[in-house]
Structure 1
Amino acid sequence: MDRFFAQGTLNAAVSGEGPALFLFHSLLSDRASFDAIAPQLSRTHRVIVPELPGFGGSKAVSGGLAAVADRMAEAVSEAGGRDAIVLGNGYGGFVALQMATRHPDIASKLILADCGAAFSEPGREAFRTMAAVSKAKGLAAITDVAMRRLFAPEFQAAHPDLMRDRREAFLKTDPEVLQGACAQLAELDLRPQLSGVKMPVLVLVGEHDEATPPPMSHELAALLPNARLKILTGCAHVPQLQAPQDFLDAIADFLK
């Protein structure tokens, strides 16, 4: 069931009953990246899977990642209050983390999967390149790069139907939204604000993640006051799609 939040600006799929659990998708994917885990999570939680601002049916915002975080904070406050749990993957994790730095009491817990607080210079340059190439040649020109950042080549070869679906979803992304997000991530450094995030945080990362490599998650967990880190063996940037049961097992105790 789809619903609109944040004064009608944010489209989200809602299922289940119980404490609110938000799932924020990555930049190179969409909310369907949670389809493999949402049904099980909805047995114990009210699962809310939004299309982040500028994606799908959700209205874009001006003002960069901070404005995206504020829009999502409005939705979390409306639908879940302080008892809500927010899980973000990739870009969704950066949004969730920035939301928590700007709104410290916005949720009871965070799960940050395959993100970090700041990129290395090579990581920043990768975003600048993706933005420049997509602007000059279109999204099709960076689709292979985008898929490699999400999934290891071996996984892609073994799951052709899934990869076809993921490529089609990526090509529906608004190029200007993607380019703006790339520019924001290329400059982002949330490390000075992390000491203010007091809520419990579970940091997850796929051991083969090339988009947000494990050292970023190690740094993030070390700088947060109340965080634990789990490495997901054999996974890349979207572990909930690659190994859904392993992902669910990794977060199960933290959700209780």
Structure 2
Amino acid sequence: MDRLFANGKVNAAQFGNGPVLFLLHSLLSDRASFDAVVPRLSQSFRVIVPELPGFGQSEAVGGGLADIADRMAEVVKEGAGAGEAIVLGNGYGGFVALQMAIRHPDIATRLILADCGAAFSEPGREAFRNMAAASRAKGLSAITDVAMRRLFAPEFQAQHPDLMRDRREAFLRTDPEVFRAACDALAELDLRPQLGQVKVPVLVLVGEHDEATPPPMSRELAAGLPQARLTIIPGCAHVPQLQSPGIFLDAIGDFMTASYAAS
């Protein structure tokens, strides 16, 4: 059942009971990208899956990534109440989660950052500038093939036509202005000088075939965080929880359990 957070500005679905787990979706997808893993996660956690600001029924935020992170910090504080929370972000959701942890050090007990990083290489920055420019000139439909290639390897796309049709439709529902603002923010982002401010344990995950946020970004991220470990997920690209949900759940399982055994 959906619920509104942050004074009615953020829409989120909730499942299960137990310690609170937030799942933040990527830029090229939506919260449905977690549908394959929510049933198992909700057996042990109260899983909250927001639509990030500007997506779905969530109100957009003026400003940059820091403002989005502040909005999501409100959601986490409200959702967790007096309890503790784990925050898992994939792609863009991972950048939001990382920025949130830097700006709000006590917001979560643990972080799982899947397929993101602290800063893009110059070719990575240029890719975001190009996507923003193409979408402005021709609309999101002009970059749908590029977007899907950043999410899934060509072989996976060919083997899962129904899923790809669904993912294309989800991408085309994205607000173009929100998409372009996010591209602009990611093209300029560099959180490397602030990584030392993240004091909680972090699990950094990346699909071995991720072209959007390649494994070197995750290696750099894990190396810069005070308490982090890196796991590379074999055979996966940018959204491993959708491509190989069982492998993804196995990759996060021990880290999730340890977080509450140690609390």
Q: TM-score, normalised by structure 2?
A: 0.97
SS at match of 1:236: coil
Q: Which residue of 2 aligns with 1:137?
A: 138
Letter of the aligned partner of 1:45 in structure 2? F
Alpha-carbon displacement from aligned partner over 1:144-166 (angstroms, at most 9, x marks no partner): 00000000000000000000000
Q: TM-score, normalised by structure 1?
A: 0.99
Alpha-carbon displacement from aligned partner over 1:49-82 (angstroms, at most 9, x marks no partner): 0000000000000011000000000000111156
Alpha-carbon displacement from aligned partner over 1:175-223 (angstroms, at most 9, x marks no partner): 0000000000000000011001000000000000000000000000000
SS at match of 1:189: coil
Q: Which runs of 5+ in 1 are unaligned?
A: none
Letter of the aligned partner of 2:255 in structure 1? F
Letter of the aligned partner of 2:227 in structure 1? N
Q: Which residue of 2 aligns with 1:127?
A: 128
Mapped to 1, the partners of 2:105 and 2:63 lie a distance apart of: 20
SS at match of 1:229: strand
Could you list the structure 1 runs, at least 4 aligned residues long, displaced by more than 4 angstroms after superposition: none
Q: Which runs of 5+ in 2 are unaligned?
A: 258-263
Q: Which residue of 2 aligns with 1:71?
A: 71
Letter of the aligned partner of 1:221 in structure 2? A
Mapped to 1, the partners of 2:129 and 2:78 lie a distance apart of: 35
1:144-223 mapped onto 2 (5 Å cutoff): 144-223=145-224
Letter of the aligned partner of 1:116 in structure 2? G
Q: Which residue of 1 aligns with 2:38?
A: 38
Mapped to 2, the partners of 1:20 and 1:133 lie a distance apart of: 39
Root-mean-square deviation (CA), in Å? Answer: 0.6
Q: Which residue of 2 aligns with 1:230?
A: 231
Q: Which residue of 2 aligns with 1:87?
A: 88
SS at match of 1:230: strand
Identity of matched residues, %: 79
Q: Which residue of 1 aligns with 2:61?
A: 61
Q: Which residue of 2 aligns with 1:12?
A: 12
Letter of the aligned partner of 1:234 in structure 2? G
Letter of the aligned partner of 2:74 in structure 1? E
SS at match of 1:56: coil
Task: Using the TM superposition, give the Cα deviation of residue 83 of structure 1 relative to its aligned residue in structure 2, in angstroms.
Answer: 1.1
Q: Which residue of 1 aligns with 2:27?
A: 27
Letter of the aligned partner of 2:251 in structure 1? A
Mapped to 2, the partners of 1:133 and 1:63 lie a distance apart of: 22
